[in-house]
Structure 1
Amino acid sequence: MTQFSHITVQDVADNKDSYAIVDIRDPQSFANGHMPDALHLSNDNLATFIENTPKEKPVVVVCYHGISSQQAAQVIAGQGFDTVYSMDGGFEAWRLSQPVVSDNA
């Protein structure tokens, strides 16, 4: 079985254009603030994401604090992606040191 790896906020920030970033938090939290270019991933769009994302594109999974993202990263890794990461510290760690995008005007 393919395994996921851990990645730091700084490693993602330094190379963010290299990754497909998926955020598994609830829709309201995502709308209130998320990483630039992150996709809100839910059960409703998981199949589409898997189908439309190149398997060689590294995927970074983000949750609130870096705990729930580990299980989601394992599921995504099991779908044939070459490289899947769970971001340590989650969105809260990102928010403390990096730019955040809000969907709310």
Structure 2
Amino acid sequence: MNKSLPTEVSVSEAYARRKAEENLLFLDVREAFEVQTAHLEPDLHLPMQSISEKWSEIPRDQPLIVYCHHGMRSLQVTGFLRRKGFEQAQSMSGGIDAWSHEIDPSIPRY
């Protein structure tokens, strides 16, 4: 586990990093129906239930911010990915709901 990176980042930090870091990858771990309601682009979508089979599809050489609706699933997935060697994986605290509230109100809240 990487001790130098916090497990969670705020939505404001995630937003600032998204603007500043070209290779930053956002991983959406919500269900498909949730993604149809609201999503961030561009991102990679792998529902939490599929992570244990598909984690190898995630690029290891990029910083990674994992998000879900409120931040609980993303925190679990971040822990799993860090145990698999994804040292740059971090969970976005508050999820897409906080992003909509604090960063981009055009993203629907549900």
Structure 1: unaligned runs, 5 residues or longer: none
Residue 63 of structure 2 corresponds to residue 61 of structure 1: no
Q: Distance in 2 between matches of 1:95 and 1:18?
A: 22
Offset at residue 56 of structure 1 (A): 3.0
Distance 1:93 1:78, change over 3 A: same
Deviation string, structure 1 residues 54-73 (Cα, Å, up to 9, x no partner): x2311111011111211111
Structure 2: unaligned runs, 5 residues or longer: none
Aligned to 2:12: 10
Identity of aligned residues (%): 23
CA RMSD of aligned residues (A): 2.5
Residue 56 of structure 2 corresponds to residue 50 of structure 1: yes
| TM-score for both structures, normalised by structure 2 | 0.75
Offset at residue 82 of structure 1 (A): 2.3
Distance 1:74 1:52, change over 3 A: closer
Aligned to 1:76: 81
Stretches of 4+ aligned residues off by more than 3 angstroms: 99-102
